[in-house]
Structure 1
Amino acid sequence: MRIGFVGLGVMGRPMARHLVEAGHEVVCTNRSQPALDALVAAGAEAARTPAEVAEKADVVITMLPDAPDVESVVLGPDGIALTARPETLVIDCSTIAPGAAQALGEALAERGLRFVDAPVSGGEAGAVAGRLAIMLGGEVTAVRDAEEALAPFAGITAHVGPVGSGQLVKAANQMLVAGALAMTGEALTLLGQAGVDIEAALGVLQGGLAGSRVLEVKAPSMLARDFTPGFRLDLHHKDLKIALAAAEDAKVAVPLTGVVTQLVQGLRAAGDGGQDHGALIKAVERLSAIRAEQDPREGESA
């Protein structure tokens, strides 16, 4: 399969590399040159613009920060839609609003192109391991073709409905992750202040009903004060606002999501938006007037 890839950020780089390693012909472009050069060295072909990518590919995958970026790459003057052949499949793995995904799908359908929204979950670690959870929204045949293209970096996939549905499920995912991170931060802060053996406590907690991937993966980095971004607080804040808007549209009350969103916003206001979302523990510490020892890795950005 000849696959185009646009967006070689923290997640996009390993995703595209998996496609190359799986034997696909991959043509890619990116705003920053070093990431593009690294993928070319791994066996991909470079393109100057998204339009040039689409001209050479049967399937084009985008992995970008937000809806305006996706809209520009897909529908802009040098965008994918300009040169893509009829029936080309465009797969957006970014996290954007469900309405934005629906609008993109409609615009591409008018041009004879197919579209699937396929946001991913699993963070940088999941992307590197090729074990991402992918929620797909679109027409049945398009989703089937998308699953084949995404297989090299997918751990689990699910067709959850029409275009836009993938983004709704991703919004729910981000609500759950943010809530779990906040509660993990609260629990670790309590245990630390109470003076118990935290390592032993984590072992028994992970073996019970409280056990989770968030506790397994994020608790150690929280304790180590390692907030090197696998997924930045700024991006999680954007995702939580998408979830709040979706809840408003559905007339659903999500008070806990609102509280966690405000905690994240407080961290962003303090200049921590570039840190990993595990830095939510710092919000709890500040509310409790706890001064934790800062690790020099805090504040690093991707």
Structure 2
Amino acid sequence: MDMRYGFIGLGHLGQHLAGSLVRAGFSVIIHDRDKSRAEPLVERGATWAESVQALAHEVDAVITCLPSPAISQAVLTGPEGVLSGLKPGGTWIEMSTLDQTDIERLAAIAAEKGIRMLEAPVTGGVHRAAAGDITVIAGGDRDLFDIHLPALQAMGGQIFHAGPLGKAAVIKVITNMLAFIHLLATGEALMLAKMGGIDLTDAFNIIKASSGNSFVHETEGQVILNGSYNINFTMDLACKDLGFALGFGKTFGVPLDLASHTLQTFIRARSTYGGDAWSSKVVKLLEDAVGTDLRAPGFPSEL
């Protein structure tokens, strides 16, 4: 608990990850461009920093959870960024979902300043981050992973070390690729059930108990049936991650027919409903095409 952590990026996911560190008793300094997001954490014991540079100057390790590689780079290398405040020997822990190339490039920039990097993207959904049970996939030197393992365990449930830097980025994108494919599949399954005269609550429960079940069906299926589509993950982020997956397919020589179709479907949904729409709303394309919705009573609006 002597390790002092800074946490930058208090969005849907980051606020819960930072909150888990505070709850576990770590000394946590926080910053976000929207100060109002920090207020609940400050009330629980976190310390607010007025700038990224000020935050970095006071801690041993900086954690970032940000929406894009461009923003991660700006926060890291800007005139008042992480590298302008974090002392040599410090650690940058990147929990955003980035491309392997971005991870390796930014790690090299940090290393020039004497800063070591650990990547630690997460998977499992915002609701599991809120419970401190999200899966953490780390990449980087094993000794650095061991040093920060207590903090990772405070934020997550299952913790994996995927190998050297960049490997966590690859497997995280793979898991997201599968989730988006499964999302389209569960939408089609539920619509087929409805049009076949099956009660949607029965259909949901039977699929959940069958060989066709998936984590996405159990979770996002519920907010689809509610009609909120609120999975706290946007169309923009889904398109970004699927783009990474297709890039890996090109780099590694793997044809990704399902992922390619899924990306095109998400691009169409984004153009229809907007980039800030929840990613689960991709299923509404099918609802609109068939002319009926997928609604059933008793399902939550948010997990």
Q: TM-score, normalised by structure 1?
A: 0.93
Contact 1:232/1:275 (CA < 8 Å) preserved in 2?
yes
Q: Give the Cα separation in 2 of the matches to 1:253 and 1:212.
A: 23
Question: What corresponds to 1:113 in structure 2?
Answer: 115
Of the three residues 230, 255, 258, the one matched with 2:257 is 255
**What displacement does 1:87 show?**
1.5
Question: What corresponds to 1:83 in structure 2?
Answer: 85
Partner of 2:87, secondary structure, is: coil
Question: What corresponds to 2:151 in structure 1?
Answer: 149
**What displacement does 1:209 show?**
1.4
Q: Give the Cα separation in 1 of the matches to 2:262 and 2:38.
A: 36
Range with greater deviation from structure 2 (166-175 or 209-218): 209-218
Deviations 1:165-208 (A, max 9, x none): 11101110111100100000000111111111222222222122
Distance 1:29 1:121, change over 3 A: same
Question: What corresponds to 2:50 in structure 1?
Answer: 48
What letter corresponds to residue 61 of structure 1 in structure 2? I
What letter corresponds to residue 261 of structure 2 in structure 1? V
What letter corresponds to residue 226 of structure 2 in structure 1? A
Contact 2:9/2:32 (CA < 8 Å) preserved in 1?
yes
Deviations 1:257-282 (A, max 9, x none): 01011111111101243222221211
**What displacement does 1:229 show?**
4.3
* 2:285 is the counterpart of 1:283: yes
Question: What corresponds to 1:166 in structure 2?
Answer: 168
Q: Give the Cα separation in 1 of the matches to 2:206 and 2:230.
A: 27
Q: Give the Cα separation in 2 of the matches to 1:199 and 1:73.
A: 45
How many residues of Structure 1 are paired with residues of Structure 2 in the alignment?
A: 295
> What 5-or-longer segments of structure 1 have no aligned partner?
none
Partner of 2:89, secondary structure, is: coil
Q: Give the Cα separation in 1 of the matches to 2:133 and 2:234.
A: 20
Deviations 1:122-166 (A, max 9, x none): 221011011111111111111222322221121111111211111
Partner of 2:138, secondary structure, is: strand
Question: What corresponds to 1:59 in structure 2?
Answer: 61
Q: TM-score, normalised by structure 2?
A: 0.93
Question: What corresponds to 2:29 in structure 1?
Answer: 27
Q: Give the Cα separation in 1 of the matches to 2:72 and 2:252.
A: 25
List 4+ stretches of structure 1 deviating above 4 A: none
Percentage identity across paired residues of the two chains? 30
CA RMSD of aligned residues (A): 1.7
Contact 1:139/1:162 (CA < 8 Å) preserved in 2?
yes
Partner of 2:12, secondary structure, is: coil
> What 5-or-longer segments of structure 2 have no aligned partner?
none
Range with greater deviation from structure 2 (176-185 or 134-143): 134-143
Q: Give the Cα separation in 1 of the matches to 2:287 and 2:164.
A: 42
Partner of 2:273, secondary structure, is: coil
Deviations 1:188-240 (A, max 9, x none): 11111111122222222212211222111111211111123411121111111
What letter corresponds to residue 54 of structure 2 in structure 1? E
What letter corresponds to residue 289 of structure 1 in structure 2? V
